[in-house]
Amino acid sequence: MNTEFEARREAVVRAWRETLESEPASDDEDFFEAGGNSILAVELQRRLTAALGHRVPLRRLHDHPTVRGILGLHPPRQPRAAAAEAAGPPALTLYCLPYAGSSARIYEPWKTGLPSSVAVTPLELPGRGARWPERPKTELEPLLDDLAEAMDEARHTPYAVFGHSFGGILAFELVRHLRSLGFPPPRRLLVSGCPAPHLATPAETTYDLTDEEFTERLRQLRGTPEELLDNDELLELYIPIIRADYTILDHYKAPESAPLDCPVSVFYGRGDDDAGRDVTEPWSAYGSEPATIEEIAGDHFFLRDAEEELLTKMARHLGAPAPGNP
Protein backbone atom coordinates (compact mmCIF):
# COMPACT_ATOMS: atom_id res chain seq x y z
CA MET A 1 0.00 0.00 0.00
CA ASN A 2 1.29 3.46 -0.90
CA THR A 3 2.12 5.07 2.45
CA GLU A 4 2.46 8.52 0.87
CA PHE A 5 -1.05 8.25 -0.55
CA GLU A 6 -2.40 7.01 2.78
CA ALA A 7 -0.81 9.99 4.55
CA ARG A 8 -2.44 12.39 2.07
CA ARG A 9 -5.79 10.65 2.46
CA GLU A 10 -5.56 10.84 6.25
CA ALA A 11 -4.77 14.57 6.00
CA VAL A 12 -7.88 15.13 3.84
CA VAL A 13 -10.06 13.09 6.20
CA ARG A 14 -8.72 15.03 9.19
CA ALA A 15 -9.43 18.38 7.49
CA TRP A 16 -12.95 17.17 6.65
CA ARG A 17 -13.50 15.97 10.24
CA GLU A 18 -12.31 19.26 11.76
CA THR A 19 -14.51 21.27 9.38
CA LEU A 20 -17.76 19.31 9.68
CA GLU A 21 -17.07 17.83 13.14
CA SER A 22 -17.88 14.38 11.76
CA GLU A 23 -16.12 11.62 9.85
CA PRO A 24 -16.87 11.17 6.13
CA ALA A 25 -19.17 8.17 5.74
CA SER A 26 -16.97 7.01 2.86
CA ASP A 27 -14.39 8.40 0.44
CA ASP A 28 -17.27 9.09 -1.96
CA GLU A 29 -19.54 11.02 0.42
CA ASP A 30 -20.45 14.46 -0.92
CA PHE A 31 -19.12 17.28 1.32
CA PHE A 32 -22.25 19.38 0.75
CA GLU A 33 -24.68 16.53 1.35
CA ALA A 34 -22.79 15.87 4.59
CA GLY A 35 -23.60 19.37 5.84
CA GLY A 36 -21.06 21.56 4.09
CA ASN A 37 -21.81 24.88 2.45
CA SER A 38 -19.89 27.58 0.62
CA ILE A 39 -18.48 29.11 3.81
CA LEU A 40 -17.45 25.73 5.21
CA ALA A 41 -15.82 24.97 1.86
CA VAL A 42 -13.48 27.90 2.51
CA GLU A 43 -12.72 26.46 5.97
CA LEU A 44 -11.99 23.09 4.40
CA GLN A 45 -9.74 24.73 1.80
CA ARG A 46 -7.78 26.48 4.57
CA ARG A 47 -7.28 23.25 6.50
CA LEU A 48 -6.34 21.29 3.38
CA THR A 49 -3.74 23.90 2.44
CA ALA A 50 -2.15 23.60 5.88
CA ALA A 51 -2.31 19.80 5.91
CA LEU A 52 -1.15 19.10 2.34
CA GLY A 53 1.33 21.93 1.97
CA HIS A 54 -0.24 23.27 -1.22
CA ARG A 55 -3.38 25.20 -2.07
CA VAL A 56 -6.45 23.22 -3.16
CA PRO A 57 -8.54 25.42 -5.51
CA LEU A 58 -12.15 26.02 -4.49
CA ARG A 59 -13.08 24.98 -8.00
CA ARG A 60 -11.87 21.45 -7.21
CA LEU A 61 -13.99 21.35 -4.06
CA HIS A 62 -16.89 22.67 -6.12
CA ASP A 63 -16.54 20.07 -8.90
CA HIS A 64 -15.30 17.06 -6.88
CA PRO A 65 -16.57 17.47 -3.27
CA THR A 66 -15.49 14.07 -1.94
CA VAL A 67 -12.37 12.72 -0.25
CA ARG A 68 -11.61 10.78 -3.42
CA GLY A 69 -12.16 13.85 -5.59
CA ILE A 70 -9.96 16.09 -3.44
CA LEU A 71 -7.20 13.50 -3.81
CA GLY A 72 -7.55 13.68 -7.59
CA LEU A 73 -9.47 10.43 -8.06
CA HIS A 74 -12.72 11.25 -9.84
CA PRO A 75 -15.33 8.50 -10.15
CA PRO A 76 -18.40 9.32 -12.29
CA ARG A 77 -20.82 11.54 -10.36
CA GLN A 78 -23.81 9.51 -9.27
CA PRO A 79 -27.32 10.83 -9.95
CA ARG A 80 -29.01 12.57 -7.07
CA ALA A 81 -30.50 9.92 -4.82
CA ALA A 82 -34.20 9.94 -4.20
CA ALA A 83 -35.22 10.66 -0.62
CA ALA A 84 -35.59 7.53 1.45
CA GLU A 85 -39.15 6.53 2.15
CA ALA A 86 -40.29 7.38 5.63
CA ALA A 87 -41.47 4.60 7.89
CA GLY A 88 -44.93 6.13 7.64
CA PRO A 89 -46.47 9.21 6.07
CA PRO A 90 -46.19 12.36 8.22
CA ALA A 91 -49.29 14.28 9.21
CA LEU A 92 -48.02 17.09 6.99
CA THR A 93 -44.90 17.75 4.90
CA LEU A 94 -43.71 21.36 4.83
CA TYR A 95 -41.62 22.12 1.74
CA CYS A 96 -39.38 25.17 2.34
CA LEU A 97 -37.82 27.49 -0.26
CA PRO A 98 -34.90 29.83 0.55
CA TYR A 99 -34.42 33.51 -0.14
CA ALA A 100 -32.31 34.70 -3.10
CA GLY A 101 -28.80 33.27 -3.14
CA SER A 102 -29.31 31.16 -0.03
CA SER A 103 -29.17 27.42 0.51
CA ALA A 104 -32.26 25.61 1.74
CA ARG A 105 -30.03 24.27 4.55
CA ILE A 106 -31.11 27.35 6.52
CA TYR A 107 -34.26 25.33 7.30
CA GLU A 108 -32.46 22.29 8.76
CA PRO A 109 -33.02 23.50 12.38
CA TRP A 110 -36.75 23.61 11.68
CA LYS A 111 -36.79 19.80 11.54
CA THR A 112 -36.56 19.83 15.33
CA GLY A 113 -37.96 23.33 15.87
CA LEU A 114 -41.41 22.44 14.53
CA PRO A 115 -43.62 19.68 16.01
CA SER A 116 -42.89 16.10 14.95
CA SER A 117 -46.22 16.01 13.10
CA VAL A 118 -44.67 18.40 10.55
CA ALA A 119 -41.98 16.87 8.32
CA VAL A 120 -39.78 19.77 7.20
CA THR A 121 -38.35 19.21 3.71
CA PRO A 122 -36.00 21.95 2.46
CA LEU A 123 -36.10 22.26 -1.34
CA GLU A 124 -32.55 22.94 -2.55
CA LEU A 125 -32.16 24.97 -5.74
CA PRO A 126 -29.52 24.05 -8.33
CA GLY A 127 -26.15 25.66 -7.63
CA ARG A 128 -26.18 25.68 -3.83
CA GLY A 129 -25.92 23.38 -0.84
CA ALA A 130 -25.61 19.76 -1.91
CA ARG A 131 -26.44 20.89 -5.46
CA TRP A 132 -23.64 23.45 -5.62
CA PRO A 133 -21.91 21.78 -8.62
CA GLU A 134 -25.09 22.07 -10.72
CA ARG A 135 -25.74 24.99 -13.05
CA PRO A 136 -28.20 27.50 -11.53
CA LYS A 137 -31.39 28.20 -13.47
CA THR A 138 -32.17 31.72 -14.67
CA GLU A 139 -35.73 31.09 -15.91
CA LEU A 140 -38.75 30.45 -13.71
CA GLU A 141 -40.47 27.60 -15.57
CA PRO A 142 -37.43 25.27 -15.75
CA LEU A 143 -36.79 25.95 -12.06
CA LEU A 144 -40.39 25.06 -11.17
CA ASP A 145 -40.10 21.83 -13.17
CA ASP A 146 -36.90 21.01 -11.28
CA LEU A 147 -38.47 21.63 -7.87
CA ALA A 148 -41.62 19.67 -8.70
CA GLU A 149 -39.47 16.59 -9.41
CA ALA A 150 -38.49 16.53 -5.74
CA MET A 151 -42.11 16.68 -4.57
CA ASP A 152 -43.72 13.56 -6.04
CA GLU A 153 -44.71 12.43 -2.54
CA ALA A 154 -47.01 15.47 -2.36
CA ARG A 155 -49.29 13.74 -4.87
CA HIS A 156 -50.28 11.33 -2.11
CA THR A 157 -49.69 13.00 1.27
CA PRO A 158 -50.83 16.30 2.82
CA TYR A 159 -48.38 19.14 2.32
CA ALA A 160 -47.81 22.87 2.70
CA VAL A 161 -45.27 25.18 1.06
CA PHE A 162 -43.22 27.95 2.69
CA GLY A 163 -40.89 30.56 1.20
CA HIS A 164 -39.09 33.65 2.44
CA SER A 165 -38.62 36.79 0.30
CA PHE A 166 -37.72 35.58 -3.23
CA GLY A 167 -38.62 32.11 -1.91
CA GLY A 168 -42.14 33.40 -1.22
CA ILE A 169 -42.67 34.15 -4.89
CA LEU A 170 -41.16 30.78 -5.79
CA ALA A 171 -43.52 29.09 -3.31
CA PHE A 172 -46.55 30.86 -4.80
CA GLU A 173 -45.58 29.98 -8.37
CA LEU A 174 -44.63 26.44 -7.36
CA VAL A 175 -48.11 25.83 -5.93
CA ARG A 176 -49.63 27.08 -9.19
CA HIS A 177 -47.26 24.86 -11.15
CA LEU A 178 -48.03 21.79 -9.04
CA ARG A 179 -51.76 22.29 -9.54
CA SER A 180 -51.22 22.48 -13.31
CA LEU A 181 -49.44 19.11 -13.07
CA GLY A 182 -52.38 17.52 -11.29
CA PHE A 183 -51.10 17.69 -7.71
CA PRO A 184 -53.76 18.19 -5.03
CA PRO A 185 -53.84 21.65 -3.44
CA PRO A 186 -51.61 22.22 -0.42
CA ARG A 187 -53.13 22.60 3.02
CA ARG A 188 -51.64 26.09 3.09
CA LEU A 189 -49.17 28.43 1.42
CA LEU A 190 -46.99 30.32 3.90
CA VAL A 191 -44.80 33.25 2.87
CA SER A 192 -42.63 35.62 4.86
CA GLY A 193 -40.83 38.85 4.10
CA CYS A 194 -42.44 38.86 0.66
CA PRO A 195 -44.65 41.49 -1.02
CA ALA A 196 -47.76 40.27 -2.80
CA PRO A 197 -46.92 38.94 -6.28
CA HIS A 198 -48.02 42.02 -8.21
CA LEU A 199 -45.78 44.14 -5.95
CA ALA A 200 -42.78 41.79 -5.83
CA THR A 201 -40.91 42.76 -9.00
CA PRO A 202 -38.14 45.19 -7.95
CA ALA A 203 -38.33 48.74 -9.28
CA GLU A 204 -34.60 48.58 -10.11
CA THR A 205 -32.87 45.54 -11.56
CA THR A 206 -29.99 43.85 -9.77
CA TYR A 207 -29.10 40.94 -12.06
CA ASP A 208 -27.41 43.18 -14.67
CA LEU A 209 -25.10 45.10 -12.32
CA THR A 210 -21.34 44.78 -12.68
CA ASP A 211 -19.73 42.33 -10.27
CA GLU A 212 -18.53 45.23 -8.10
CA GLU A 213 -21.97 46.85 -8.03
CA PHE A 214 -23.63 43.48 -7.50
CA THR A 215 -21.40 42.71 -4.51
CA GLU A 216 -22.15 46.10 -2.98
CA ARG A 217 -25.89 45.57 -3.46
CA LEU A 218 -25.63 42.20 -1.70
CA ARG A 219 -23.76 43.85 1.16
CA GLN A 220 -26.56 46.40 1.53
CA LEU A 221 -29.25 43.69 1.53
CA ARG A 222 -27.45 41.85 4.38
CA GLY A 223 -28.59 38.41 3.26
CA THR A 224 -25.14 37.22 2.15
CA PRO A 225 -22.48 36.33 4.75
CA GLU A 226 -19.58 38.78 4.96
CA GLU A 227 -17.18 35.81 4.84
CA LEU A 228 -18.43 35.13 1.32
CA LEU A 229 -18.38 38.76 0.20
CA ASP A 230 -14.79 39.16 1.43
CA ASN A 231 -13.47 36.06 -0.36
CA ASP A 232 -12.78 36.88 -4.03
CA GLU A 233 -12.29 33.26 -5.07
CA LEU A 234 -15.54 32.12 -3.48
CA LEU A 235 -17.39 35.17 -4.75
CA GLU A 236 -16.30 34.37 -8.31
CA LEU A 237 -18.03 30.99 -7.96
CA TYR A 238 -21.03 32.28 -6.07
CA ILE A 239 -22.02 35.47 -7.93
CA PRO A 240 -23.49 33.55 -10.91
CA ILE A 241 -25.67 31.57 -8.48
CA ILE A 242 -27.06 34.67 -6.73
CA ARG A 243 -27.33 36.52 -10.04
CA ALA A 244 -29.49 33.66 -11.38
CA ASP A 245 -32.06 34.21 -8.62
CA TYR A 246 -32.15 37.94 -9.27
CA THR A 247 -32.53 37.30 -13.00
CA ILE A 248 -35.75 35.42 -12.24
CA LEU A 249 -36.98 37.99 -9.72
CA ASP A 250 -36.14 41.05 -11.82
CA HIS A 251 -38.08 39.62 -14.78
CA TYR A 252 -41.00 38.32 -12.72
CA LYS A 253 -44.51 39.25 -13.84
CA ALA A 254 -47.38 38.29 -11.57
CA PRO A 255 -50.33 36.51 -13.20
CA GLU A 256 -53.31 38.80 -13.76
CA SER A 257 -55.80 36.57 -11.97
CA ALA A 258 -54.48 33.71 -9.92
CA PRO A 259 -56.25 32.99 -6.63
CA LEU A 260 -55.04 29.68 -5.22
CA ASP A 261 -57.43 27.02 -3.97
CA CYS A 262 -55.78 27.03 -0.55
CA PRO A 263 -55.46 29.51 2.34
CA VAL A 264 -52.44 31.79 2.57
CA SER A 265 -50.50 32.82 5.68
CA VAL A 266 -48.22 35.85 5.55
CA PHE A 267 -45.52 36.92 8.03
CA TYR A 268 -43.75 40.28 7.94
CA GLY A 269 -41.06 41.93 10.04
CA ARG A 270 -42.04 44.88 12.20
CA GLY A 271 -38.90 46.71 11.07
CA ASP A 272 -38.87 45.55 7.43
CA ASP A 273 -38.88 48.63 5.20
CA ASP A 274 -39.23 46.61 1.97
CA ALA A 275 -41.84 44.02 2.87
CA GLY A 276 -43.99 45.55 5.61
CA ARG A 277 -47.73 45.21 6.16
CA ASP A 278 -48.61 47.65 3.37
CA VAL A 279 -47.22 45.37 0.66
CA THR A 280 -48.02 42.03 2.32
CA GLU A 281 -51.70 42.69 3.07
CA PRO A 282 -52.59 42.44 -0.67
CA TRP A 283 -51.73 38.71 -0.48
CA SER A 284 -55.42 38.37 0.48
CA ALA A 285 -56.25 38.48 -3.24
CA TYR A 286 -54.22 35.31 -3.88
CA GLY A 287 -55.79 32.72 -1.60
CA SER A 288 -59.05 30.85 -1.21
CA GLU A 289 -59.94 33.25 1.62
CA PRO A 290 -58.50 36.49 3.04
CA ALA A 291 -54.89 35.92 4.03
CA THR A 292 -53.94 35.51 7.68
CA ILE A 293 -51.26 38.12 8.32
CA GLU A 294 -48.89 38.08 11.30
CA GLU A 295 -46.30 40.62 12.45
CA ILE A 296 -42.95 39.27 13.68
CA ALA A 297 -40.31 41.13 15.68
CA GLY A 298 -37.32 42.07 13.53
CA ASP A 299 -36.41 43.32 10.08
CA HIS A 300 -36.36 41.52 6.72
CA PHE A 301 -34.37 38.57 8.10
CA PHE A 302 -36.59 37.90 11.11
CA LEU A 303 -36.62 34.21 10.16
CA ARG A 304 -33.07 34.13 11.57
CA ASP A 305 -33.43 36.63 14.41
CA ALA A 306 -36.94 35.72 15.63
CA GLU A 307 -37.04 32.05 14.65
CA GLU A 308 -38.82 30.84 17.79
CA GLU A 309 -41.65 33.37 17.40
CA LEU A 310 -42.01 32.56 13.71
CA LEU A 311 -42.10 28.79 14.25
CA THR A 312 -44.63 29.07 17.05
CA LYS A 313 -46.98 31.06 14.82
CA MET A 314 -46.36 28.82 11.83
CA ALA A 315 -47.22 25.72 13.89
CA ARG A 316 -50.55 27.28 14.78
CA HIS A 317 -51.29 28.09 11.13
CA LEU A 318 -50.45 24.51 10.18
CA GLY A 319 -52.79 23.13 12.84
CA ALA A 320 -49.92 21.54 14.74
CA PRO A 321 -49.04 21.82 18.45
CA ALA A 322 -46.72 24.67 19.34
CA PRO A 323 -43.00 23.77 19.13
CA GLY A 324 -41.89 21.99 22.30
CA ASN A 325 -45.32 20.42 22.87
CA PRO A 326 -46.14 16.83 21.96
Active site positions, annotated: 165
> 214, 216, 222: which is closest to 165 by C-alpha?
222
By residue count, the chain amounts to 326
Count other Cβ atoms within 10 Å, centred on residue 18: 12
Q: Is 133 exposed, middle or buried (0-12, 13-18, 19+ CB in 10 A)?
A: middle
How far is the first Cα of the chain from the last one, in angstroms, to the nearest whole number? 54
> 1, 20, 9: which is closest to 70 by C-alpha?
9
CA distances from 68 to 62, 65, 148, 231, 241 (A): 13, 8, 32, 26, 26
Lay out the sheet containing 159-164: strands in order across.
118-122, 92-97, 159-164, 188-192, 264-269, 292-296
